[in-house]
Structure formats: C-alpha cells, structure tokens
A and B are shown apart, each in its own frame.
Chain A
Amino acid sequence: MSGRALLLIGSPRREESTSARLGDRLLSGLTARGFAGETRQLLPAWDSSERMAEVLTVAAAADLLLLSVPLYADHLPAPVIRFLERYAEQRPPGSRPQRMAALVHCGFPEATRNLPALDTLRLFCARRGIGFSGALAMGMGGALGGRRHFPGGGRARKQPLLAIDRAADALAAGEAIPAECERQAGRPLMARWLYLLGGNWGWKRRALRLGIRARLYDRPYA
C-alpha cells in the first residue's frame, strides 16, 4: 500500500523537539515502504491564517495523517486543538477516506497519562469520518529525546523506537497499529526511581550552571 503521509508536529519546540524526532522515525519508515511523506509544524499556524490554510490544504490531500505531540497540561497542546477545530470545520461529511495515527509522549513516567489526549483523537476521528489507526502513548518523555537530554536516554529508548518501526510496518500495510506494539511503546524506559532521580538532578545541575540555583523556588506572584 502506498499514498501520501503527512506528519504534523504538535510540539512548540518544532524541529528540535522529541516529537519531531519520533515523528521523523515513523515517517521515514513509511517513505521507505513507498509512501510520499511531508512534514508540517502546527505552531506557526496558530496565529497565521495563511499558514493554517496551507496546513489544512496539505492535510486534506493526505491519505494518512501522523500526529506527533507532547502532552501539555494533561492534554494536546493548544495549537493541535486549534488545528483539529479548523480541520473539522473544513472537512464535510462524505469527504475522501483518510486515516490518522498518533505518537503522544509525556514527561511523567506513566504512559497512561496520555489517555485524555488519545480520547480526543479517537473521538475526533470517529466524528469526522477519519479512520483511527491507533496511537503509541509513551511516558518518560525526558529520556525519549536521547542521551543529549537525559543520562542513559540513548539506550533506554530502544523499545519505543522498535515499536515505532513496527507501527510503520503496520500502517504501510494499511493496518492499524497492533495492540502489542502499543503496549511495547508504553512500557517504562527505566526504573521509576531512576527517572525521577535523573529528572530532578538534571534541573538542579542546569540551574547551577546557569547561576540561578538560589532562585529556583522564587514566587514572583506571591
């Protein structure tokens, strides 16, 4: 099976983000199997009607929408919700068939924290006549970005990357992401205590380097 795949990056950190890295991996898997792939960032479309119109046009022409997003405040980031609102407005009933799959990751250890975001994506697809082909929900996002972002992150992310490759296989074959693949992506990357230790230590080390250690607990609005 082939067609046009559009990767939508929902992270405001854009090309530098974990969302972009994970999404690129999925898109590369699909292009290697004959899909034509394109990528768009959703943040620039937030306050530019021209950019939003362009993203909507490209999205409408895609056979497979791939959404790669971080969890912000328990849910999809605002620019992603705005894109869904606009896309729903312009997609009339009976539009050409499309599929959507998603990669959602959060900074907490528990991958289940992503479930409200998945609820919304599932409902969006169901109500707009888009086939929902599944999602990989991942926790410990701090380590997903790799060694540069988290000590030991390089090795720890092997399992989710394998899950993404298997997801690409399934999507390229016109199938949904297998449940086993979703479970594989959701497994903790390391012991929870180690992730918490690494995360908390990382912020303190950064604060020390930037000379703001004493101001870390400031309460400017007290």
Chain B
Amino acid sequence: MKTVILDGTMAGPLARTCGQAAEVVTAQLRAAGQPFIHLKLDTMDIGPCRGCFGCWQETPGRCLVHDDAERMLAALAPAELLILITPITWGGCSSELKKGMDRIIPLLLPFYARRRREVHLRGRYPVSRRLLAVGALPAADPEMEAAFHRLIWRNSRNLQARWHEAVVLKERSDLHWLAARLNSRLAAEGGTPS
C-alpha cells in the first residue's frame, strides 16, 4: 500500500508531540514493511494555491506554480494511504499542512459528481484512498477535538476514502494508542502487524 505522510509540524509548543507522532508512524510502517514517503512540509518550498485553476484549464493535472508541490503531487497521485500530522489549531490544521492540502487540486477533475447524497469533484486518478489524521493538542479539549473530527470526516468524504480515522494526541500515552490504531489498520489491509 503506497503511503504518503504529509507532516504539518511547525515550530511551537506542539512540535515535540508532532515529531513523536511522526516517529511512531514511520516506525510502524517500517515494521509492517510498508513503503512510504515522509514529506515534512515546513522544509519544503510550497507556496499557497493561487486559485487560478490553471491545473484544470491550461495544463490539466499540473500546477502552473513550479515549486516543491510538484514533488508532493507526484507522491500523492498513486498514494493509497494518506497520513496527516498536525498541531490542532482551533479545531483545524496548521498553516503548514494546509499549504500542502490546498495544492492537491491538480489531483481532481473540474467536474462534479453526486456521491452519497452530496456533490463532490471527481478524482483524476483511479486510486482507492485511506486517510489517517493525527492531531496534537496541549491538553484535553472536547470542542477542539470534535471540530477536528468533523474536518477529517469531511476530508475523507472529498477524498472518497475507503476508511478514515482521526487520532488526537493529548498526552504521551496517546502515542501508544496511535501505534495500536495504525497497526490494526495495517493488519486489516494485509500488512504484517509488528
């Protein structure tokens, strides 16, 4: 299962937690023998989406802005498992993760299609995707957690994900829970559990 980690860790009080989450995730993937690409977005030259729709109407499937987003798109196009890592910012994700998420429009077609009573954009690539999102909080915060879960559910609908899961890290012991959840998901997909 081709896996891409979009790591939206940014400098700040939650950088350590996000870093530990990335270590846990990569260790689990290695143990399961899953190939993966780990993209640390804060080290990549990715500008914000310009909203020009050039990736639909000038160079279909390719962004007109030539920066590290091309590398990200090449990795994401065939990815079957997408793992997001982010500090939770008011129930959402960091600006670092969002700059990457905003640039995935070339992976979609401009055409609407109805699915599950909603309208979505059709995917450009025939890939069955899964979504695991890992969000970090400094402490338990039910409002932030609920908002983060809603956002990831919404992301999963638009990605047409076969399954999705949002794991919120509030304390160190939650890293064990993250490892267990990922391990369980990989085992269910046929990967070798560690």
Q: Which residues of A contact B (CB under 8 A)?
A: 11-13, 17, 43, 46-47, 70, 72-79, 81-82, 84-85, 108-110, 113, 115-117, 119-121, 123-124, 127, 192, 196, 199-200, 203, 206-207, 210, 212, 215-222
Contacts and interface: CB of A to CB of B under 8 A. Distances in A.
Contacts of B144: 123
Interface of B: 47-52, 56-58, 60-62, 73-74, 77-78, 89-95, 98-99, 101-102, 104-105, 109-112, 114, 118-120, 124-125, 143-144, 147, 150-151, 154-155, 158
A70 B51 contact: yes
B119 A109 contact: yes
Contacts of A11: 51
Given A73-B98, A75-B92, A78-B98, A119 B61 contact: no
Contacts of A196: 112, 114, 119
B50 A215 contact: no
A43 B77 CA distance: 27
Contacts of B119: 108-110, 192, 196
Contacts, number: 146
Given A116-B92, A222-B77, A74 B62 contact: no
A81 B60 contact: no
Contact of A221 (B125, B150, B154): B125
A210 B54 CA distance: 11
B2 to A, nearest CB: 12
Contacts of B78: 221-222
A74 B51 contact: no
Nearest to B144: A123
A167 B93 CA distance: 29
Given A113-B154, A116-B92, A219-B124, 13 more contacts: A12-B49, A12-B51, A73-B155, A74-B154, A77-B49, A78-B98, A120-B89, A120-B92, A123-B144, A210-B57, A217-B60, A217-B124, A221-B73
A215 B60 contact: yes
- Which 10 residue pairs spanning A and B have beta carbons closest together? A221-B77, A82-B95, A123-B90, A119-B147, A78-B98, A78-B99, A203-B110, A116-B151, A81-B95, A12-B51
Given A13-B51, A216-B109, A120 B77 contact: no
B151 A74 contact: yes
A218 B92 contact: no
Nearest to A86: B95
Nearest to A83: B95
Nearest to A73: B101
B92 A46 contact: no
A128 B144 CA distance: 14
B92 A81 contact: yes
Contacts of B101: 72-73, 75, 78
A218 B57 CA distance: 11
Q: Which of A13, A78, A123 has the most CB of B within 10 A?
A: A78
Q: Which of B91, B93, B147 has the most CB of A within 10 A?
A: B91
A113 B153 CA distance: 11
B111 A200 contact: yes
Contacts of A115: 150, 154
B51 A17 contact: yes
Contacts of B90: 84, 119-121, 123-124, 127
Contacts of B109: 216-217
A127 B158 CA distance: 29
Nearest to B120: A108
A202 to B, nearest CB: 9
Q: Which of A46, A85, A220 has the most CB of B within 10 A?
A: A220
Contact of B57 (A43, A203, A222): A203
